[in-house]
Amino acid sequence: MVDRTDAEQPTIAPGVDEAQTLEAEPTEKERKRGDYTEVTTLHLDRTPED
């Protein structure tokens, strides 16, 4: 794993809808360049008894 300083941490601009931005599919141009990030979303499905 790459060790990054706080200044190098990836960020999303304030006011950007993070869910919509992260779920957007890359364009063909981005795919060809490898300029995209795989995003995995975890949803906890819990019942009140858990």
Q: What is the pLDDT of residue 18?
A: 66
Helices (H), 1-50: 18-23, 28-33
Decide: 21 and 12 in contact? Cβ < 8 Å.
yes
Q: What is the pLDDT along the chain (50 residues), one digit of tens a residue?
A: 566 666 677 676 666 676 777 788 899 999 999 988 888 888 888 877 76
Measure the CA angle with vertex 42, ends 36 and 48; round to 5°: 165
Q: What is the pLDDT of residue 34?
A: 92
